[in-house]
Structure 1
Amino acid sequence: MKLPRILALLAGVLAVYLVAPFVAGLGQLGQADWAGVDTGGLAQASIVSVTSATLATALVALGGIPLGYVLARRPGRGMALLGFVVQLPLALPPLASGVLLLFLLGYASPLGRLTGGALTDSFIGIVLAEAFVAAPFLIIAARSAFASVDPVLEDVAATLGHRPWAVFRRVSLGLAAPGIWAGLLLTWLRAFGEFGATVMVAYHPYSLPVYTYVAFGSQGLPAMLPILLPTILLAIVVMAASLRGEAPQRPRPFQAHALPLPPPGPIPGRVAPAQTLAFTFQRRQDGFVLDVAWRTPARRLCILGASGSGKSATLRLIAGVDQADRAALSLGSTDLTALPPYQRAIAYVPQNYGLLPHLSVDRQIRFAVDCDPARAPYWMQRLGLDGLGHRIPAELSLGQQQRVALARALSRRSRLLLLDEPFSALDAPLRARLRADMVALQAEIDATTILVTHDPAEAILLADEVLLLEDGHVLQSGPIEAVFQRPASEATARLLGAEAVAVGQAVAPDRIDIGGVILDVAGPDLAVGPIGWAVRPGSIRLGQGHPATVLRADPPRAGQRRLMVQIGTAILPAIADAGCDAALGPCHISIDPAAFQIWPATTTARNPA
């Protein structure tokens, strides 16, 4: 993209201004008083500044990095106020900072009397003054660096068995390191060049800025260039250190499609058979109330609901990365309620897969504390990841990233596998392929799987039992087929994919009347009385069966034709083959009895189709 002229002009003006003083200084090399320089005094001042800046930076790092992390991870007014206060030294004139420090450290202060005045007019005083004025640079840099680290990565590391300190060291600090390193360099440079606060707190021994000020007052401008030379050289060295590092690598080419699964084989160290899962969670946060409970012995489970219904929140509570106001969680005879996430031995795959961007595929899969050395290579081969072990996540397709996250989860001896919308970021063909692969994997593993999704097709394919959520509350739960055939309400039916709903009358345990037309239905027995109902469009066939009327026939698309047909008092969508003679007017249709969804008619609108 071509750079706008005004931007180039403004950038050039500032760049020239910043370079100009150095050029002007070079022009004075011949006029400098090289002979009049006190080499010993200059060397001593340089040592004082380098040493004090290094100690001040270390002192700031000891508390500044944790403070940056706390400010980034603990929202609230108190933290916002603290973040404002610790940045105030940036806004204060350096002399004002020195005066404030004298109130704290001076001879007349409690600390000053306690230490006998050792905190001022001493090397310790220089370090403390430099730490005060330079600390905000590291705190701001660390806060920004930690804020850029996705908290989900920390959550995933915790579920992989890492304790809080290990999570901070191996994930948070590892990912924030470039920003923190830049903050440390800025902190050192600010401490090295500090004059105002230093001259107020500790005039002696001379630091390099104070020595420069004294020399200027006694010798004038000709002596300045030789004295400034060590300062400029040291600054150049430190700035050069900030630029070191490897050049960014170009991602290697990768295939965007799913890799075929190898034939099934024996799984090393299979876990124990699935046991009854039971949980109760109540949580109120930011006006949203979550109140869910479920008890089921099934091995393939699904939590289904629209966005914002509390699906992912429930999964995070099961994983232990969030806390509920009231909670109970057990798997078989094991009570997990009070256990932290690193002790629950639960495999958790979040929506974005939670891959650590700085680790290769090999290290990702072996990142769990309890990774089984025999299972890791097995699942890499089983999921088609051979040859990708050296790549980082940025060099993988979405499908490959999903497989790495699954391999990492399956390489542990866990009895519960949590999958949060694992296919939501994938395109339709890849999503269909990986769904089929997941069915094969579920048949191989003994762990209970809980899938969170908003897609009824995924629930039907990958779950034996389903929990339906809406606005944080349970609508219905039970075996997937029973819930589909007998939803508790119209809202539940629509959540399960009902496109058009109608009303009718149950006239027998397995028959309904929809305006004079009697239809057979499958599923649990019906109680005689008014009902609401829906049917999948693909289950309606033209050509034989009950009399009906074609009201609309759309043009053929992708080998199919969408119709609107009336049967009895109901108007329903239907799908026919593109070559089907679907003329408007009378026809006959048949409906698969197992395709009906039927519920009590108390809240059902009359045929909104």
Structure 2
Amino acid sequence: MRRTPGTIRILGGILTLYLLAPFAAGLSRMGDADWRGVDRAALLHAAGVSVASATAATALVAVAGIPLGYVLAHGRGWRMAVLGGVVQLPLALPPLASGILLLFLLGYGGLLGGLMHGALTESFAGIVLAEAFVAAPFLIVAARSAFAAIDPALEDVAATLGHGPGAVFRRIGLPLARRAILAGLLLAWLRAFGEFGATMMVAYHPYSLPVFTYVAFGGAGLPAMLPVLAPTLAVAALVLVLGQVVAAPRRGGGAVSSDVLPPVAAGPAAMGPGQALVLDLRQCLEGFALRVEYRTRARRLAILGASGSGKSMSLRTIAGLERGAGSVVRCDGRDLAALPPEARGIAYVPQGYALPPHLTVAQQVGFAVDSDPALVAHWMAAFGLAELSRRYPHELSPGQRQRVALARALSRPSAGLVLLDEPFSALDAPLRARLRQDVLAVQGGVRATTILVTHDPAEAMLLADELLVLEGGRVIRAGPVDEVFSRPGGEVAARLLGARTIGTGDVLSPTRIDIGGGVALGVAGAPLTPGARVRWAVRPHQVRLDQRGEYPATILHRGAVRDGQRSVRLRLGEAVLDIVADPSCPDIGPCGVTIDPLALQVWPQDG
């Protein structure tokens, strides 16, 4: 544990001593207390009034204060900012001022007081209303902070799994904010229990404990106060202890599992054509505009782009989590754009997986409104999660959490679209490769269309049949994966697809380009136009050194061996390429290379 600086400890200690000093001073005067002169019956009655009124006031505040905190946590704009300030005004007002303001409302001439013929003053109801007014901000602020601290992705996923706003509030918001809300309820109760100024102005009778203490002090002086204060201190201490027990965060849990994952049991391949998917996604933000148009029947679609290109925004627009005016999302003729997220019939796996920490693995997988128990059991078994069914997310390894998120998405039988937002981005390379294979194994066994967002071209080519390449919120290339890779259409798309070293050449025939130095590369894909000037690229691992290779080359530099591979720089035609080769590759000098025509990317020089 890191040491706390000495100056900070000293300053904290000074304040602690000051807060404890009045209690010590009171205890030192215990001998002067007049224990026999106290009207015990009146004191106990006043204590009962305070306990009952504080409890009623806190309950009254909780009914509306918790929902108000939720609204403030999710609201945006100046109206919410103003509302957030208004509900905290009682904190800034002197209690007597609060009481005077309440009299304008609750007194005989007030709006509510007149309707109730004065029943709201000089009554128990008046005490409750006065205490509720001054105590409400404590709960509202605590609830707002607690709800604002919840990861929005948890509520987003709940919505996409069919839960409406009320259910999301009950099943995600309240459980995750529960401990902070309990702390706020505790503070509100204590504030109501100790309220004096507003209570005295609105309802002097019946005596609450603070008012009784004030009256007793005026009649008997300081020596008589210790017996009067005893119930106040006892009740406050008891409530604080109970509050600490209830609201304290739970620690620990089971040990995190290792990432040794059993193979995924893939189901039978889904037969028949894919769904007809029509997208016209539109978003207009300050400094950024999204416009993505595409039609497909592919079962597997990937959206590829750099950070900030609009990939995740596109996925969220499809899910209905971002509402873009004029957007079109149509699946097999069903218009999804007009529906809220919970009615779209989709399943969404965001970055980080969004597993609610209060739910077990079994509860996570079966969380969708329409989850099928048989389907839940199938995917629990397929992903090797059956033995982990009672564990919570913090007890799982990263790979297991990813499997839980996938099983949850696939356990919704009504899901026509399964949306995967960079599901492997937070994983290390070996685990990422393993879990890609997991997704590949299950994709063929589901009828839903999967839409994968990624910045990794290897993921896109492995897990998609068709590909959208995005740049600056626009589609710069789209189509079947092989076509997009071999003919990216321009350098930006080529680099997004993994091109590093780029060369130039002239088209000799529809399947061959001259790259200088007497080298003519064979290319696959759409026929090229003879005589055209083009650019080309090949990824480092797709150039193979081979003394009997078709193309003559010259090794210029042999780098160090890392991870079982040697970096090599060579000249091929007029281009200089950086590739990776076996550690035992030839030394500097002439060599031969082989390049699969399918590995070459070619696009117009002015593309």
TM-score category (smaller protein):
over 0.9
One-letter amino acid matched to 1:158 = A
Change (3 A) 1:346 1:579: same
Tell me what 1:352 maps to: 352
2:550 partner amino acid: G
Once the 2 structures are TM-superposed, how far is the Cα of residue 367 of structure 1 from its aligned partner? 1.3
Matched residues, number: 600
CA shift digits 1:210-241 (9 cap, x unpaired): 11101100111222111111111111221122
Classify 1:114/1:344 alpha carbon distance in 2 versus 1 (closer, same or farther; 3 Å).
Answer: same
Aligned-residue offset at 1:461:
0.8
Letter in 2 for 1:541: R
Partner residue, 2:570: 565
The residue type equivalent to 1:540 in the other structure is V
8 Å CA contact retained: 2:554, 2:588: no
1:596 to 591, 600, 605: 600
> Is contact 1:258-1:433 (8 Å) kept?
no
CA distance in 2 between partners of 1:446 and 1:258 (Å):
29
Q: Which of 209-218 and 252-261 deviates more? A: 252-261
Find the counterpart in structure 1 of residue 401 from structure 2.
Answer: 401
Indicate yes or no: 2:413 matched with 1:420: no
SS in 2 for 1:33: coil
Q: How far did 1:165 drift? A: 0.6
- Paired residue for 2:541, among 538, 541, 554? 538
Is residue 9 of structure 1 aligned with residue 10 of structure 2?
yes
| 2:330 equivalent to 1:330 | yes
What is the match of residue 32 of structure 1? 33
The 5 Å alignment of 1:28-427 reads 28-245=29-246, 248-261=250-263, 263-264=265-266, 274-413=274-413, 414-427=415-428
Tell me the SS of whatever aligns to 1:449: strand
Residues 456 and 496, structure 1, Cα contact 8 Å, conserved in 2: yes
Aligned partners of 1:69, 1:271: CA distance in 2, in Å? 45
Distance apart, 1:424 and its partner CA: 0.6
Q: Comparing 482-491 with 122-131, which one deviates more in the overlay?
A: 122-131
Q: Distance in 1 between matches of 2:119 and 2:274?
A: 67
Shift of 1:485: 0.2
Moved more, 98-107 or 383-392: 98-107
Alignment deviations for residues 116-169 of structure 1 (CA, whole Å, 9 cap, x no partner)? 333333322222211111111011100110011111111111111111111101
Which residue of 2 is the match for residue 582 of structure 1?
Answer: 587
Taking the aligned partners of 1:335 and 1:57, their CA distance within structure 2 comes to 46
Contact 1:273 1:446 in 2 (8 A): no
Distance (whole Å) between structure 2 residues aligned to residue 258 and residue 457 of structure 1: 23
Opposite residue 96 of structure 1, the aligned amino acid is A
Q: Give the aligned partner of residue 519 of structure 1.
A: 521
SS of aligned partner of 1:430: helix
Q: Which moved more, 1:330-339 or 1:276-285?
A: 330-339
Checking the alignment, whether the CA contact within 8 Å between 2:368 and 2:412 is kept in structure 1 is yes
Matched residue SS, 1:556: strand
CA contact (8 A) 2:361 2:388 kept: yes
Instruction: Give distance in 2, aligned partners of 1:539 and 1:350.
Output: 32
| Distance (Å, rounded) in 1 between the aligned partners of 2:3 and 2:324 | 53
1:203 Cα offset (Å): 1.7
Question: Which residue number in structure 2 is paired with residue 458 of structure 1?
Answer: 459
SS of the equivalent of 2:507 reads: strand
Scaled by the length of structure 1, the TM-score of the pair is 0.94
CA distance 1:201–1:460, change in 2 (3 Å): same
Q: Whole-Å Cα distance in 2 between the matches of residues 407 and 271 of structure 1?
A: 21
Query: Which amino acid is 2:572 matched to?
Result: I
Q: Contact conserved, 1:466 with 1:480, CA < 8 A, in 2?
A: yes
Q: Is the 8 A contact 1:161 1:368 kept in 2?
A: yes
Moved more, 137-146 or 204-213: 204-213
1:520 CA displacement: 1.3
Equivalent-residue separation in structure 2 for 1:2 and 1:456 (angstroms): 46
- Mapped to 1, the partners of 2:541 and 2:3 lie a distance apart of 53
240-249 or 118-127: bigger deviation: 240-249
In the alignment, structure 2 segments of 5+ residues that lack a partner are none
The one-letter code of the counterpart of 1:524 is A
Query: What per-residue deviation string (whole Å, max 9, x for no partner) do you get for residues 505-524 of structure 1?
Result: 12211111222532211111
Q: Structure 2 CA distance, aligned partners of 1:18 and 1:194? A: 19
- Residue aligning to 1:606: none
Aligned partners of 1:100, 1:94: CA distance in 2, in Å? 10
CA distance in 2, matches of 1:580, 1:551: 12
Q: 1:351 Cα deviation (Å)?
A: 0.6
Determine whether 1:500 maps to 2:501: yes
Write the letter of the residue equivalent to 1:374.
A
The offset of 1:249, in angstroms, is: 4.4
Deviations along 1:70-101, one digit per CA (max 9) or x if unpaired, are: 11111222211221222121122212222222
Query: Which range moves more in the overlay, 315-324 or 551-560?
Result: 551-560
For residue 498 of structure 1, report the CA deviation from its aligned partner. 0.3
Deviations 1:8-39 (A, max 9, x none): 33333332332232233333333222222122
Report the Cα distance in structure 1 between the residues aligned to 2:260 and 2:601, rounded to whole angstroms.
35
Q: Is the 8 A contact 1:276 1:331 kept in 2?
A: yes
Q: 1:256 to 1:307 in 2, by over 3 A?
A: farther
Q: 2:258 corresponds to which letter in structure 1? A: A
One-letter code aligned to 2:139: L
Q: Does 1:550 align with 2:570?
A: no
Deviation at 1:583, TM superposition (A): 1.0
Question: How many angstroms does 1:463 deviate by?
Answer: 0.7
1:168-197, CA deviations, whole angstroms, 9 ceiling, x for partnerless residues? Answer: 011111110100110011001001101111
Structure 2 residue matching 1:444: 3-state secondary structure: coil
Q: Does the CA-based 8 Å contact 2:256-2:394 persist in structure 1?
A: no
3-state SS of 1:173 partner = helix
Q: Is the 8 A contact 1:541 1:590 kept in 2?
A: yes
In 2, Cα distance between equivalents of 1:264 and 1:88: 60
CA distance in 2, matches of 1:513, 1:2: 67
- Matched AA of 1:518: A
Letter in 2 for 1:95: L
Counterpart Cα distance in 2 of 1:508 and 1:533: 15
Amino acid at match of 1:14: L
Q: Which moved more, 1:559-568 or 1:527-536?
A: 559-568
* Structure 1 residue 272, shift from structure 2 partner: 8.5
Give the AA of the match of 1:126: I
State which drifts further: 521-530 or 99-108.
99-108
Measured in 1, the distance between the counterparts of 2:529 and 2:26 equals 97
Corresponding residue of 1:607:
none
Q: CA deviation at 1:365?
A: 1.1
How far 1:4 sits from its partner (Å)? 3.4
* TM-score, length-scaled by structure 2: 0.95
Letter in 2 for 1:307: S
How big is each residue's C-alpha offset from its partner over 1:251-291, in whole Å with a ceiling of 9 and x where there is no partner?
32333324122544569xx8996312111111112332111
Q: Is the deviation greater in 23-32 or in 161-170? A: 23-32
Which one-letter code corresponds to 2:286 in the other structure?
A: D
Counterpart of 2:6 in structure 1: which amino acid? R
CA distance in 2, matches of 1:346, 1:247: 34
Alignment partners' CA distance in 2, 1:454 and 1:576: 25
Cα distance change on mapping 1:273 and 1:597 into 2, 3 Å? closer
Amino acid at match of 2:536: W
SS at match of 1:371: coil
RMSD: 2.0
Alignment partners' CA distance in 2, 1:319 and 1:183: 35
Quote the Cα distance in structure 1 between the aligned partners of 2:180 and 2:162: 27
Question: 1:470 & 1:146 partners in 2: Cα distance?
Answer: 35
Aligned equivalents of 1:437 and 1:460: distance in 2? 15
When structure 1 is superposed on structure 2, of 57-66 and 148-157 the one drifting more is 57-66
